[in-house]
């Protein structure tokens, strides 16, 4: 075990010295998808039409969750953004057609020198820039290793507590649910265990989704149901890759953004607490 740790430290030192002597930068391509829970079996008798609709909806959600992202990075900063792709055909079966869009795909900028992050987000079409200090993640590096491509990766975990916004949303749901039980029940939010696989062979303390703080680039990230895997890496010390800081939208803190979002959603609810969507004929 001691020999293993010594070799690990030597690897970091040698590679770090090599990179520090150069203008190091790179690009990493990631594939992201969400693992959906299977619905519990029910004794309810469903029509063939309902069964087909459920299949189409499940396939549409699966396709909507599968995206590609690009992480542009140097030793001190990174930008994580979605790779725009041709629009996929809508899932359909037996006359049904379903299209699902998932939010949370705005650009995410990280600067580990200034200990800051900037996230693009929106609320019903209105753009915001969430400007915050970087969280300090209390990573626990484990002894497990595996290969991702040609890189040896080490496993690390961190526990993310329940946010204040999640707590408030759940408490609001409980109050509404006492008056009238909701059709879809909200699960009580719980702390999450995040698993990362990083490689000291690319010793930049960065990764996807503003995750940082490990002695190597994060090549795989598991946010329980959200899986992100690096599929391609291009490293360079010659061409200067420009990292453009997001600047589109109203600047707010995460707390301010959460408050605006809650107020907007509350304004769209009816007397029973259900959100009303209006459509044009």
Tens of pLDDT along 1-47? Answer: 444 453 455 345 445 544 453 567 999 999 998 876 665 555 566 66
- CA 222: distance to chain centroid? 9
CA distance 192 to 154: 20
**150 or 279: which leads in pLDDT:** 150
Q: DSSP string covering 177-194, please?
A: HHHS--SSPPPPP--EEE
Instruction: For residue range 65-102, list pLDDT tens digits in order.
Output: 689 999 999 999 999 999 987 665 554 545 555 554 55
Instruction: For residue range 158-184, list pLDDT tens digits in order.
Output: 999 988 878 888 887 788 777 777 666
Cβ–Cβ under 8 Å, residues 227 and 21: no
What phi, psi does 230 have (nearest 5°)? -75, 130
Residues 114-138: what's their mean pLDDT?
Answer: 94
Top mean pLDDT of 57-66, 82-91, 255-264 is at 255-264
Residues 202-228: what's their mean pLDDT?
Answer: 95
Region of residue 173 (phi > 0: left; psi between -120 and 50: alpha; otherwise: beta): alpha
């Amino acid at each position: 075990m001691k020999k293993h740790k010594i070799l690990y430290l030597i690897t970091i030192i040698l590679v770090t010295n090599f990179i520090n002597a150069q203008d190091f930068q790179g690009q990493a391509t990631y594939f992201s998808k969400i693992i959906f829970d299977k619905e519990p079996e029910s004794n309810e008798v469903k029509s063939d039409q309902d069964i087909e609709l459920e299949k189409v909806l499940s396939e549409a959600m699966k396709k909507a969750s599968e995206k590609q992202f690009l992480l542009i990075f140097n030793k001190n900063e990174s930008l994580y953004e979605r790779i725009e792709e041709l629009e996929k055909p809508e899932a359909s079966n037996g006359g049904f057609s379903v299209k699902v869009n998932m939010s949370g795909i705005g650009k995410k900028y990280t600067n580990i020198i200034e200990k800051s992050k900037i996230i693009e987000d929106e609320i019903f079409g209105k753009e915001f820039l969430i400007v915050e200090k970087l969280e300090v993640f209390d990573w626990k590096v484990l002894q497990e290793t595996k290969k991702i491509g040609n890189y040896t990766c080490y496993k690390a975990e961190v526990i993310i507590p329940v946010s204040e916004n999640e707590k408030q949303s759940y408490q609001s749901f409980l109050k509404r649910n006492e008056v009238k039980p909701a059709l879809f029940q909200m699960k009580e939010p719980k702390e999450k265990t995040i698993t990362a696989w990083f490689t000291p062979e690319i010793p930049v303390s960065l990764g996807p989704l503003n995750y940082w703080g490990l002695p190597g680039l994060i090549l795989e990230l598991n946010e329980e149901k959200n899986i992100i895997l690096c599929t391609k890496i291009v490293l360079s010390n010659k061409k200067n890759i420009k990292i453009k800081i997001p600047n589109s939208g109203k600047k707010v803190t995460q707390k301010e953004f959460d408050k605006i979002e809650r107020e907007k959603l509350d304004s769209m609810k009816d007397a029973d607490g259900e959100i009303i969507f209006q459509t044009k004929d």
